[in-house]
Amino acid sequence: MRRASERPSPVSGGAAIFQRVYTRLGCRGRPPRFEVEFYPYANLMHTIRLREEAAHVRLSDALRGAPSAVLESAAAILLSRIYRRRAPSEILGAYRQFVLLPRTRRRVAALRCARGRRVQTGPRGHIYDLAPMFTGLNRRYFGGRLHRPRLGWSNRTWRAQFGCFDPALDQIVMSRWLDRSSVPRYAVEYVLFHEMLHVKHPLRAARCGIEAHSLRFRLEEKRYANYDRARKFLDRLP
C-alpha cells in the first residue's frame, strides 16, 4: 500500500509561481493555465507537458517544503526548456544550492531507494558476500534472531547513501560503491549492521535518510565493534 504522502498533491501557489516566472523570462503571448503538482518520482526530476490551453507540471516531491525561490528556479528550468528562453542565472542559483544540500541529497537517495525495484543481484558481490556477513552480524549482535530480508547490491553506485532497508519490498540494498577492495570489510559490515537495525526497528525504517535516527538507535549502533573506525572511514569520503 502506498503511504498518503506517496500520492501526487497540488503545489499550493504553484500556478502563481509559474505565471510569474513565465513573465520574468519574457515569454510572449497568453500564458497557459498552469496545473502544478508534487509527484512521487523515484528521482529528482520534473516534467512539463503542454496540452491545449493547459500546462501540466509535475515537480519531484523532494521539493515539498522547499523555499519558494527553489520552486521558482524549477519553474524557470522547465519554462526555459519548452519556450526556448534563457533563464537568468540568479534565478537558477536557489535550485542549484538546494540540490547540493546534504539533506536534499540524502532525501533523494532515500526516495530512489524506497521507490526503487526489487534488487535482482543477490547477496554475492565482486568482493563481499552479504549473506555470511549478515549471518555473522546476526549471531553477534541479534542473538541470531533477526529476520533476514532479501539482500543485494544497487545497480548503480549511490554516493549519497550507502545502504537502505525497504520494508515494503523486505530488502536491504547496499551501494555498489562499497563492493570494492579499497573499502575495508569493517566499513561494509557497519553499513549492513546499520540497515539491520532498521529491520529490527521497522517503524523508523521506511524513512531512513529522511528522518534523523532516534537516540536509542544511535546508541544501539555504537555497539558495533568497529563503529569508530567505520565512521571515520566513511566520513572521510569526498
Binding site for Zn ion (CB under 5 A): 208
C-beta of 51: minimal distance to Zn ion in Å?
41
Max distance between CA atoms of the chain, in angstroms, equals 69
Strands (E), 110-219: 150-153, 163-166, 171-174
**Pairing verdict, β 33-39 and 54-60:** parallel
Considering beta carbons, is residue 55 or 208 the nearer one to Zn ion? 208
Considering beta carbons, is residue 73 or 175 the nearer one to Zn ion? 175
Considering beta carbons, is residue 83 or 141 the nearer one to Zn ion? 141
Quickly tell me which residue has 509559474 as its cell: 18
Give yes or no for a contact between 101 and 149, defined as CB atoms under 8 angstroms apart. Answer: no
Strands (E), the chain: 9-10, 33-39, 47-51, 54-60, 150-153, 163-166, 171-174
Considering beta carbons, is residue 199 or 208 the nearer one to Zn ion? 208
Considering beta carbons, is residue 166 or 179 the nearer one to Zn ion? 166
How far is Cα 126 from Cα 121, in angstroms, rounded to an integer? 11
How far is Cα 26 from Cα 164, in angstroms, rounded to an integer? 44
**H or E segment and range at residue 85:** none
C-beta of 221: minimal distance to Zn ion in Å?
9
138's grid cell: 546476526
Spatial CA neighbour of 60 closest among 76, 74, 41? 41
C-beta of 205: minimal distance to Zn ion in Å?
8
Give yes or no for a contact between 80 and 86, defined as CB atoms under 8 angstroms apart. Answer: yes
Considering beta carbons, is residue 66 or 191 the nearer one to Zn ion? 191
Considering beta carbons, is residue 123 or 163 the nearer one to Zn ion? 163
C-beta of 8: minimal distance to Zn ion in Å?
27
Distant-in-sequence, close-in-space partners of 184: CB < 8 Å, separation ≥ 6: 229, 233
Closest residue to Zn ion: CB criterion: 208
C-beta of 150: minimal distance to Zn ion in Å?
18
C-beta of 225: minimal distance to Zn ion in Å?
19
C-beta of 140: minimal distance to Zn ion in Å?
19
